[in-house]
Structures are given as structure tokens and as C-alpha cells.
A = this chain, B = another copy of it.
Amino acid sequence: MERIHYNIPIEATLEVIGGKWKALILCHLKSGKMRFSELQKSIPQITKKMLTQQLRELESDGIINRYVYHQIPPKVEYSLSDTGESLREILDKMCAWGENRINNQT
């Protein structure tokens, strides 16, 4: 296994939650498990393809869990893993900061 070198630790964080969608997805999952279609509704700008892709990456980075109910029609639920939970504080603060910025806009 190759050990990646980072000049500064935030790079390791950005590798996991960086990009256009990941923090947003995680922010929605903060409130509990969600189905694929619920995520889609909550983030109308994202396409299925992108959502699938981002969820796969988050899963393989160990940030979220994926539960598949083997039924027809299929049902898949996503939720924060323990590692994902450890991001909660950051996500909360990012949300709070954004809220503040929106309200203080002139």
C-alpha cells in the first residue's frame, strides 16, 4: 500500500470531502439515513450519474454506509459511517457559516 504524502493535513480531508457535491451530500445525511431517491430530491441540481458516483466514492473512503434491501423495486439507504460521524462538527460549522453569510448579505 502506497502511503500518500501530504504537505498539510487539510489535503487528506479535502481528498475525502472535497469536490462539488460530497460535503453537500454528507450534510443531508447528517439528519439520518436516506434513500437514493430522497437524496436526489434533496439535491435537485445533481444528476443520477453524479450522485451515484459521489456516493460510491464516499462509500469506498469509508465515510458512508450503504444498505441494500433486496426487494423489488429495490431500496437502498445511505447513512454516515462512524468515520462519517466524525465529520459532523465540521459539516455543522460549514452550515452555520453559510447561514450567517446568507443572512448578513446586503
Contact = CB atoms under 8 A, between A and B. Distances in A.
Copies of this subunit = 2
A24 B9 CA distance: 9
A43 interface: yes
Contacts of A96: 9
Interface in A1-16: 1, 3, 6-14, 16
A27 B7 contact: no
Interface stretch (A51-59, A68-76, A83-91): A83-91
A2 to B, nearest CB: 11
- From DSSP, what is the main secondary structure of chain A's interface residues? helix
A12 B99 CA distance: 7
What band does the interface of chain A fall in when counting residues whose beta carbon is under 8 Å from B?
Answer: 35 or more
Given A3-B105, A93-B89, A105-B3, A98 B24 contact: no
5 contacts: A3-B105, A7-B43, A10-B27, A14-B98, A93-B93
